[in-house]
Structure 1
Amino acid sequence: MRRAGRYSRVVISLGIVGLIVMGILPAASVVGAAEETTYDLDFEIPEANSKDIFKIWGYSEFRPFIRLLDKNSALYKQKYYKDPQNDTQTDYLLNLRPEISIDYGQFGMYARPRLEVDWSEVKGATLVLDEPSEEFWTEEKHWGGSIMLEEAFVTWRPSPTLTAEAGKKVLTWGKGYAWNPVAFASRPKDVDDPDHAREGYVMSYLDYIRSFAGPLKTLAVTPLVLPVADRLNAELASGDSLLVGGKVYALLYDIDLDLMFMAGNKYDTRVGFDFSTNLTSNLEIHGESALRFGYNKNIIDAGGEIRSKKYDALNFLVGFRYLNSYDTTIIAEYYHNGEGYSPGELRDYYNLIDNGYSEYIENTITSNIQANLKILNGNSQGKSGNNSQNSNNSSLLKDSAQVASTYNKSTAGQDYLYLRISQKEPFDILYLTPTVTLITNLGDLSCSLNPEISYMVIPNLELKPRLIIPIGPPQSEFGEKVNAIRGEFRITYYF
């Protein structure tokens, strides 16, 4: 408890610092604005004259994976306790993502389907994909495949200031690079690969924008609605619902500001805001904050007892992006996940799995001894075999499986530091960009080290080898991951 209190004070202190920074920025911008030339931004935006009504582009990607498993980790024991695996696993993924757009006057259409075929040494569970989608080869041992529309929407622009869209779309709410706590209507980013394409949600929305002279240069209002049903935006709410939300954007004293909200039946109401501004031409700072009302978190102890805690969860992020004269880009972000678990709560969960695995091994040994004794005594094997099968189960592992969806997800902890450093064309090697990323759980000081290299062989062919290396002691988030190391090699062809 003492340790949890210390982290709470750190989080509160960082939050206060963030609020002070946000309060100082407008004042600093006022001083800077007084020295700048004033421009009139209220002008008519001419419509683009393009002869290309129909366009198609996209990419195809082949990705082989290899994983070295950590057989001593808690999550390995939880997942494979009945089915021990080899030390390494391999997977192969081939996908095609064409993008299609049609622009005809005031009307437009955009679609991004995804066709995916994969081969896995150990095939996972069948996915439940949002419509419209279809999964193939669900009964195959190694092969899998799916086709879906990641994005597909129609657009109507009756004027340069008004846009209406409906369909499946990825909304880019938020200013953070690795996390976006205010992205209420978007699927979470993969923190190991934030730039990777995501699937959108089905929605309809309006976007109305106006420009002004003076400190408030731009104002935009974006209301939206999202239906929720079986296999339609099902991740957003706990049942059939109609969600309503919106965003108000302002460019005030060269500071980008957004206010967001989302509400609906069977959904925890959320409100949030974000900001970003350039302190210098090569230094940008940004932040986000979101409040989720009535969040219900399930917490399990080392004995398998589950209790619920209901509270208003505060999530926030502050960070910067810096580019120096040597073309080195540094992105750093601190993220507080108010819906996450403390280091003590994660330790209890991992202890529960370890205890459950020990229970399973003891039950297996005991049942095997009893079965052998019965065979020696002349009893039937059929009956003893059934008893052995029934007694091998672990009640503690079953308890841990009930909360695995939240405890095992990415960024399950409360406080994180993200650092990404990339260098463009080092040693004058054209089209080469090495990058290293460090994601640290500040609660238990475990981390993930992710080095990668991007090399454009020709203008439309990219090679990208990368590693994901979890590092941490036992009973820490990254120390208990299934993989001791994961490697992949992307071969991407753009067309």
Structure 2
Amino acid sequence: MACAGVFAAAPVRAQEDYGFDAGQFEKKRFELNGYAELRAEHFALDPGAAFYRLNFFDQTPRSDFARGTGALELTGVYREGMASLHATAHGEASRDYSGSERDTRLYEAYLRLDPARAASAELGKKALRWGKGYAWNPVGFVERPKDPNDPELSREGFVVLAGDLIRSFDGRLKTLALTPVLLPVRDSLNDDFGAAGHVNAAAKLYALYGDTDLDLVILGAGSRGRRYGFDFARNLTTNFEIHGEWARTADTERAVTDAAGNVTRVRADADSYLLGLRHLTENEVTTIVEYYRNGAGYTQDEMRAFFERVHTVYDQFQASGDATALGRIRDTLQTPYARPTPMGRYLYLRVSAKEPFDILYFTPAITLIDNLDDRSYSAAPELLYTGVTDLELRLRLYVLRGERLTEFGEKQNDRRVEFRVRYFF
């Protein structure tokens, strides 16, 4: 009888050891997660650089400054039947030599309906992500651009009406998906997308053909010029992937100044494209390489003329004390010339190694952005530590190098050290 009792109990123990609760895999009705962050930065300034002179001509001269920032980002989902509400909020407060500053934004807030497995609709503020590139997305027609220095940061979306229709097949063509988008622009709605008074129509057609992902994308004329393009991604081997994007933008416009201060508006169609690869070794070393051609970017001569104009006007300010011209340049021209990667050709390289030499929880990495037109560059080595549950520590150094009258040589700082503590929940 004792033996019978032992064998009778065996199946019960097996169920306890190897069984699973299907409820663990069901989506919860309500989910809330996010992170809290503290960030300390130190900037080593370049007083002879054009952007230093634009930003500090009316302030006390300084060679460096420190900034402290606290941030909180929350993402929540509430589900009820075929409907779900999604929201992401981001707030941060910072303090440096100029005082304190606070900013709170609702990155996303939209309603999603899933009436069928192959059909869905979304209404509200949503951050769409189109394209296969890591640092840049030429086909990202209905989204805010990435910061190539930190491409994985969350971004604020636009208010849209969007949908997805999906069809699966047997054979080489495995999946087709159509994503139509309507993006209205009014004085107080999506007003930074472009000219008001338009309902902008866009669409993406996705196909999975064999082992290749393909997208055809289009944005009709409206608040911005008409745009169309495609992207692709394919795994050549398990650990080696190639990707690319191409986009044509009709009637782009950029403000161009010459060394004498004459400003003209240059309008033209522009072709932009990106080619890249990702590779993962057996030792978990990840390499990302991308070449980016920005068809709407400034030429080397145009950037040089802008920098020459800033230096000329600054010298006049030093002699006369009249800052009117410098203020005019800062207010009207600094934004397009100072945006990330404003010129024509760039090379991006990122290499990261997970736990090298069996050093647990450490991931060193380096990111390089090389301006192939003027040969200036930025390099950012970093060290990431994840040895404490839900806690991430990152130390990063930004080094900018270039001759005078080059993009990175005229930035306001030569170096920046950043230490970030981020707690996830």
TM-score relative to the length of structure 1: 0.79
Query: How many pairs are equivalent?
Result: 403
Q: 1:328, CA displacement in angstroms?
A: 0.4
Q: 1:402, CA displacement in angstroms?
A: 2.5
Match of 2:333 in 1: 403
Match of 2:183 in 1: 226
Q: Does 1:116 align with 2:92?
A: yes
Amino acid at match of 2:79: D
Q: 1:443, CA displacement in angstroms?
A: 0.2
Question: Which of 398, 406, 411 is 1:476 aligned to?
Answer: 406
The answer on whether the counterparts of 2:42 and 2:65 sit within 8 Å (CA) in structure 1 is yes
Match of 1:213 in 2: 170
Residue 361 to residue 49, structure 1, CA distance change in 2 (3 Å): closer
Match of 2:76 in 1: 100
Residue 52 to residue 394, structure 1, CA distance change in 2 (3 Å): closer
Query: CA offsets per residue over residues 351-394 of structure 1, 9 Å max, x none?
Result: 11111111111113xxxxxxxxxxxxxxxxxxxxxxxxxxx235
SS for the counterpart of 1:316 is strand
Q: Does 1:329 align with 2:259?
A: no
Question: Which of 429, 433, 441 is 2:363 aligned to?
Answer: 433
Match of 1:163 in 2: 120
Match runs of 1:135-174 below 5 Å: 142-174=99-131
CA distance in 1, matches of 2:402, 2:72: 36
SS for the counterpart of 2:386 is strand
SS for the counterpart of 1:457 is coil
CA distance in 1, matches of 2:228, 2:401: 35
CA distance in 2, matches of 1:408, 1:488: 21
CA distance in 1, matches of 2:208, 2:137: 20
Task: Report the more deviating stretch, 75-84 or 230-239.
Answer: 230-239
Match of 1:447 in 2: 377
The answer on whether the counterparts of 1:303 and 1:396 sit within 8 Å (CA) in structure 2 is no
The answer on whether the counterparts of 2:182 and 2:201 sit within 8 Å (CA) in structure 1 is yes
Match of 2:314 in 1: 357
Match runs of 1:32-431 below 5 Å: 50=26, 52-122=28-98, 142-364=99-321, 392-393=322-323, 395=325, 398-399=328-329, 401-431=331-361
Q: 1:239, CA displacement in angstroms?
A: 2.3
CA distance in 1, matches of 2:223, 2:354: 47
Q: 1:248, CA displacement in angstroms?
A: 0.2
Q: 1:320, CA displacement in angstroms?
A: 0.2
The answer on whether the counterparts of 1:279 and 1:285 sit within 8 Å (CA) in structure 2 is yes
Amino acid at match of 2:45: L
SS for the counterpart of 1:152 is strand
Q: CA RMSD in A?
A: 1.6
Which runs of no fewer than 5 residues in structure 2 stay unpaired? 1-22
Residue 231 to residue 61, structure 1, CA distance change in 2 (3 Å): farther
Q: 1:264, CA displacement in angstroms?
A: 4.1
The answer on whether the counterparts of 2:241 and 2:278 sit within 8 Å (CA) in structure 1 is yes
Q: 1:51, CA displacement in angstroms?
A: 6.0
Q: Percent identity?
A: 39
Query: CA offsets per residue over residues 187-221 of structure 1, 9 Å max, x none?
Result: 10011000111111111111010110122110000
Q: 1:298, CA displacement in angstroms?
A: 1.9
Q: 1:407, CA displacement in angstroms?
A: 1.0
The answer on whether the counterparts of 1:355 and 1:396 sit within 8 Å (CA) in structure 2 is no
CA distance in 2, matches of 1:50, 1:290: 40
CA distance in 2, matches of 1:52, 1:398: 54
Q: 1:48, CA displacement in angstroms?
A: 10
CA distance in 2, matches of 1:152, 1:400: 34
Query: CA offsets per residue over residues 49-78 of structure 1, 9 Å max, x none?
Result: 626211111111111111111101011112
Q: 1:107, CA displacement in angstroms?
A: 1.1
SS for the counterpart of 1:458 is coil
Q: Which has the higher strand share?
A: 2
Q: 1:400, CA displacement in angstroms?
A: 6.4
CA distance in 1, matches of 2:253, 2:157: 25
Query: CA offsets per residue over residues 64-115 of structure 1, 9 Å max, x none?
Result: 1111111010111122112233211111111111211112221111111122
The answer on whether the counterparts of 1:304 and 1:396 sit within 8 Å (CA) in structure 2 is no
Task: Report the more deviating stretch, 239-248 or 79-88.
Answer: 79-88
SS for the counterpart of 1:189 is coil
Amino acid at match of 1:350: F
Q: 1:175, CA displacement in angstroms?
A: 0.2
CA distance in 2, matches of 1:396, 1:60: 39
The answer on whether the counterparts of 2:54 and 2:326 sit within 8 Å (CA) in structure 1 is no
Q: 1:164, CA displacement in angstroms?
A: 0.6
Amino acid at match of 1:151: E
CA distance in 2, matches of 1:235, 1:270: 18
The answer on whether the counterparts of 2:360 and 2:387 sit within 8 Å (CA) in structure 1 is no
Q: 1:396, CA displacement in angstroms?
A: 6.3
Amino acid at match of 2:26: S
The answer on whether the counterparts of 1:226 and 1:242 sit within 8 Å (CA) in structure 2 is yes
Task: Report the more deviating stretch, 79-88 or 183-192.
Answer: 79-88
The answer on whether the counterparts of 1:433 and 1:453 sit within 8 Å (CA) in structure 2 is yes
Amino acid at match of 2:421: I
CA distance in 1, matches of 2:46, 2:78: 49
Q: Which has the higher helix share?
A: 1
Amino acid at match of 2:338: N
Which runs of no fewer than 5 residues in structure 1 stay unpaired? 1-46, 123-141, 365-391
Give the ranges of 4+ consecutive aligned residues of structure 1 lying more than 6 Å apart after TM superposition: none
The answer on whether the counterparts of 2:200 and 2:223 sit within 8 Å (CA) in structure 1 is no
The answer on whether the counterparts of 1:352 and 1:400 sit within 8 Å (CA) in structure 2 is no
